[in-house]
């Protein structure tokens, strides 16, 4: 049952990417990052009230502290990436998260993907290469990989992928020591508080920015909250590398949105790259 739950999560994440790209041109990225979490609280809070607050394990609070710090940084870089680059170029970089999870999950959780996990990762990396294939023509074979660092939006999203590879494991630990809804509500509330402090320090006129774009910010928070609920329900059903890999099918949905809604260019290379990444995801799932 975890596969359809994560595909639903991927859909909401794709909508979240589109809304984030649309609003980040009007509102400061720090304010958008804060709103992302703040506007999901009205959805997550009642859900937790219905489900009830569970007993908390001893690792809950320290894991929550670390996860809050990681998600705060990742959220800021996420919206900076959307501001700097096309959706179809920046967002697929998140598909590299399974590559980093092959390192972090065995260390943190003792979860080891099967042999086909490595094959799937190869396809994901190849897809990332093709996304920047135009750099191959001017900068040589390593040009596409160099562009992951030199192209600002891709670089920011690469940082997000690394942080997500750690926080994804922390999510599972947090859920084990509480419940899916308790964990996401606590994390969402904690990140909202921290990001609020960061936004107050780093930007001005927060109130006017929120008032101007509140419908988009509210929709962004709702998509985030729904995606988190479905993900945390599924998180007990499979190992984290597989869950995050399937979740990244959102990149191909987002790529299509980028082409059709934002008139982004280089359709062929970016679509082929996104499809290869999704193929890697499917290999990981069907041959696990």
Per-residue pLDDT tens digits of the chain, which is 288 residues long: 777 888 888 888 888 888 988 898 888 999 999 999 999 998 888 888 887 888 898 899 999 999 999 999 999 999 998 888 877 777 777 767 766 777 776 777 676 666 677 777 778 777 766 765 555 455 554 445 555 666 787 788 888 888 988 887 888 889 889 988 899 899 999 999 999 999 998 888 888 888 888 899 999 999 988 887 887 777 767 776 667 667 767 777 887 777 777 776 666 777 787 778 778 767 766 665
pLDDT score of 146: 59
Distance CA 264, CA 14 (A): 16
Domain boundaries, the chain: 2-286
Contacts 24+ apart (CB under 8 A), 232-238: 232/171, 232/175, 232/180, 232/181, 232/183, 232/184, 233/5, 233/180, 234/1, 234/2, 234/5, 234/6, 234/9, 235/171, 235/172, 235/175, 235/180, 236/175, 236/176, 236/180, 237/1, 237/2, 237/5, 238/2
If we measure between CA atoms, which residue out of 154, 166, 150 comes closest to residue 73? 166
pLDDT score of 220: 92
When computed from its CA atoms, the radius of gyration of the chain, rounded to whole angstroms, is 18
Q: Is the pTM of this model over 0.85?
A: no
Please give, one letter per residue, the 3-state secondary structure of the chain.
Answer: CHHHHHHHHHHHHHHHHHHHHHHHCCCCHHHHHHHHHHCCHHHHHHHHHHHCCCCCCCCHHHHHHHHHHHHHHHHHHHHHHHHHCCHHHHHHHHHHHHHHHHHHHHHHCCCCCCHHHHHHHHHHHHHHHHHCCHHHHHHCCCHHHHHHHHCHHHHHHHHHHHHHHHHHHHHHHHHHCCCHHHHHHHHHHHHHHHHHHHHHHHCCCHHHHHHHHHHHHHHHHHHHHHHHHHHHHHCCCCCHHHHHHHHCCHHHHHHHHHHHHCCCCCHHHHHHHHHHHHHHHHHHHHCC
pLDDT score of 187: 94
pLDDT per position as a tens digit, 170-179: 888 898 899 8
pLDDT score of 245: 66
């Amino acid at each position: 049952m975890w596969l359809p739950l994560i595909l639903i999560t991927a859909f909401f994440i794709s909508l979240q990417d589109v809304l984030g790209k649309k609003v980040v041109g009007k509102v400061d990225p720090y304010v958008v990052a804060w709103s992302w979490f703040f506007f999901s609280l009205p959805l997550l809070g009642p859900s937790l009230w219905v489900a009830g607050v569970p007993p908390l394990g001893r690792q809950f609070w320290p894991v929550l502290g670390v996860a809050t710090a990681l998600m705060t940084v990742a959220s800021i870089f996420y919206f900076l990436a959307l501001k700097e680059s096309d959706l179809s170029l920046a967002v697929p970089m998140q598909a590299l998260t399974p590559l980093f999870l092959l390192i972090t999950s065995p260390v943190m959780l003792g979860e080891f993907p099967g042999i086909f996990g490595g094959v799937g990762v190869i396809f994901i990396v190849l897809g990332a290469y093709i996304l920047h294939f135009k750099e191959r023509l001017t900068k040589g074979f390593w040009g596409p990989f160099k562009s992951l660092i030199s192209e600002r939006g891709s670089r920011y999203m690469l940082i997000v992928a690394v942080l997500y590879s750690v926080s994804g494991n922390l999510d599972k630990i947090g859920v084990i020591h509480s419940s899916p809804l308790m964990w996401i509500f606590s994390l969402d509330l904690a990140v909202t508080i921290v990001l609020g402090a960061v936004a107050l320090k780093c930007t001005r006129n927060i109130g006017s920015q929120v008032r101007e774009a509140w419908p988009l910010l509210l929709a962004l928070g709702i998509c985030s909250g729904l995606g988190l609920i479905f993900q945390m329900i599924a998180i007990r059903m499979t190992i984290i590398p597989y869950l995050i890999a399937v979740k990244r099918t959102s990149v191909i949905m987002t790529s299509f949105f980028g082409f059709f809604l934002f008139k982004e260019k280089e359709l062929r290379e970016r679509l082929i790259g996104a499809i290869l990444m999704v193929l890697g995801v499917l290999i990981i799932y069907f041959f696990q």
